[in-house]
Amino acid sequence: MYKKRSHLTLSFIAILLSFLVASIVMILSGISPKGFFVSLIRTMTGMNLQAIGKEGFFNARYFGEFIQITLPIILTGLSVGFAFRTGLFNIGAEGQVIIGSFGAVAVGILFKLPLVLHVPLAIMAAMLLGALWGWIPGILKAKFGVHEVVITIMMNYMALYLGNFLIKALPGSDNQKTVTLHASSLLHSDFLRKLTGNSRLHWGFIAVILAIIVYHFILEKTTFGYELRAVGHNRDAAEYAGIKVPSRIAYSMAIAGAFAGLAGAMLSLGTFDYGRVLSTFENYGFDGIAVALLGGNSALGIFFSGLLFGGLKSSQTLMQASGIPLEIAMIVSALIILFVAMSYGIDKVLDALGSRREKKHESH
């Protein structure tokens, strides 16, 4: 039988094409693509290619910030990817992040505990609330067949307004933010800060690495993960095999919510040290959809595509500083999605090109 190109190959083609098209866009609008790539590389590695051998060639702060910004994006990628492996479309990572973030903030403010207890408790609160926020659409889907996309979109708005309400209700909050969380609940690290030229890099990266391992472990190594994947690929066959499909759907959404909730903890315990009133969505959940899509819903794929989208997101400041509109980074992100979505067609085009070449060889 005919073998398709792998997702990995097509993803790389999608990335290359999107850089190519974005470069054309930049040239047409009179911007040098070189600046874009220099900024992107500088953000992701800390190395300034325009200053090789000169002072200021390497700045670890960029790298630290890049990782810090990437952490929640990888987690929302895992959230969307996990649900997707069970055949569910979790548009609700956005709301699960917000609610999870509140959970961490609440524990960080309301409790006073030693660090060894406080940090895990705050993270657990975030994951539990995120899981609850994912479980609700899951159970509605399982019991009543309500489409999860509709419910999760709705619950994103509920999360935004409920989150703001709850944040303001915490003792000492003003209209913008809460008081500073107890230091014992924070992921901040002076060590990591110093190592990376005073960036906001924090201990949360350990949690993210664990999350990636757990994601892979559940899906690939456990009977539960086998059931989820069976449900994801073919609900009828899963039912035939005696798998309780509704319960697996609810669990899957809850676990997806837990990953997103953990992303919320990264934000409020790591990036910031207070809870924030949000005027609008911050798009972590939507970034997660893109990350999962490009990463092919595999643990490693999500890790790498999370790095790329994180890089694009965090390079925006540097780009603006060098006169490149931040829309360019967004255009690139959008183009990647577009080309990944088009991968079926790209596959076909490559086939056609391949067979044309064969024919040419034959006729010569």
Instruction: Provide the binding-site residues for another protein, judged by CB under 8 A.
Output: 1-3, 221-226, 229-230, 233-234, 236-242, 244, 351, 355
Query: What is the enclosing helix (H) or strand (E) of 99?
Result: helix 93-110
Nearer to another protein among residue 26 and residue 238 (C-beta): 238
Among the listed residues 216, 188, 182, the one whose alpha carbon sits nearest the alpha carbon of residue 110:
182
Nearer to another protein among residue 327 and residue 358 (C-beta): 358
Round to the nearest angstrom and report the end-to-end CA distance of the chain: 28
Nearer to another protein among residue 327 and residue 351 (C-beta): 351
**Half-sphere exposure (CA, 13 Å, Cβ side) for 199?**
21
- Least separation in angstroms between residue 209's CB and another protein is 21
- Least separation in angstroms between residue 236's CB and another protein is 5
- Least separation in angstroms between residue 351's CB and another protein is 6
CA-CA distances (angstroms) from residue 77 to 56, 200, 301? 34, 21, 10
Among the listed residues 38, 35, 33, 7, the one whose alpha carbon sits nearest the alpha carbon of residue 18:
33
- Least separation in angstroms between residue 340's CB and another protein is 18
3-state secondary structure of 177: strand
d(CA 212, CA 219): 11
Contact 312/329 with Cβ under 8 angstroms?
yes
Could you tell me the sign of the dihedral formed by the alpha carbons of 244, 246, 252, 258, in that order?
negative
State how far Cα 89 lies from the chain centre: 14
Nearer to another protein among residue 55 and residue 362 (C-beta): 362
Nearer to another protein among residue 57 and residue 226 (C-beta): 226
Q: Could you tell me which residues are beta bridge partners of residue 177?
A: 276
- Least separation in angstroms between residue 230's CB and another protein is 5
Nearer to another protein among residue 62 and residue 82 (C-beta): 82
- Least separation in angstroms between residue 242's CB and another protein is 3
For 287, other C-beta atoms within 10 Å of its C-beta total 26
Nearer to another protein among residue 126 and residue 346 (C-beta): 346
Nearer to another protein among residue 230 and residue 292 (C-beta): 230
CA-CA distances (angstroms) from residue 207 to 11, 86, 362? 27, 23, 56
- Least separation in angstroms between residue 356's CB and another protein is 12
What amino acid is encoded at 261 in this protein? G
3-state secondary structure of 57: coil
- Least separation in angstroms between residue 336's CB and another protein is 24
